[in-house]
């Protein structure tokens, strides 16, 4: 059940789709995953409270920086359940994204650095490939071909 909003504050799925730029099918999917909620009008049609637009913007941005839907759901669950979230609530959530964005930047820089070499190569060698063995993790185990001599790949 949604918190109480005036009737005029409620939006149809078409209006939400137009304003957010997100397809109605994606909105229904978000709703199936409980990332957004609607109320059903007497006709059975979905009606969304206006603050759903911020929630959708959050979902879209979070997906762009690589959060899974489960992670997004966990973040959204931290919002106050009894009132429309305010700017402070949203900025509390997004402040944790900077770490994630830094990780993505580092990953993309690594991909960029290995792009020409690796596309022409294709070996994905754990010993020498920057894509398969970022930051030369195998070297932490010691010198030589660590995985060949029985060491297990380093995770993380």
Task: Name the site residues for ligand FES (rule: CB under 6 A).
Answer: 114, 117-118, 121-125, 128-129, 131
Quickly list DSSP for 102-139: HHHHHHHHHHHHHHHHHHHH----TTT-TTTSGGGGGG
* Shortest separation between residue 129's beta carbon and ligand FES, angstroms: 3
* Shortest separation between residue 137's beta carbon and ligand FES, angstroms: 14
Nearer residue to ligand FES within complex by CB, 8 or 116:
116
Nearest-5° Cα angle at 138, 115 to 109: 30
Nearer residue to ligand FES within complex by CB, 100 or 128:
128
* Shortest separation between residue 133's beta carbon and ligand FES, angstroms: 9
Strands in 46-49's sheet, in edge-to-edge order, are 10-11, 46-49, 39-40
Nearer residue to ligand FES within complex by CB, 100 or 110:
110
């Amino acid at each position: 059940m949604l918190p109480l909003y005036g009737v005029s504050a409620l939006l149809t799925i078409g209006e939400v789709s137009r304003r957010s730029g997100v397809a109605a099918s994606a909105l229904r999917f978000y709703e199936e995953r409980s990332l957004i909620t609607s109320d059903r009008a007497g006709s059975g049609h979905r009606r969304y409270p206006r603050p759903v637009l911020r929630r959708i913007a959050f979902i879209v941005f979070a997906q762009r920086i690589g959060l899974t839907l489960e992670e997004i759901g966990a973040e959204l669950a931290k919002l106050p359940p009894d009132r429309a979230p305010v700017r402070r609530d949203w900025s509390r959530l997004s402040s944790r994204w900077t770490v994630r964005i830094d990780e993505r930047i580092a990953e993309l820089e690594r991909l960029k650095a290995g792009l020409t070499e690796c596309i022409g190569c294709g070996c994905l060698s754990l010993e020498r490939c920057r894509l398969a063995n970022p930051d030369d993790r195998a070297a932490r185990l010691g010198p030589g071909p660590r995985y060949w001599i029985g060491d297990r790949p380093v995770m993380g």
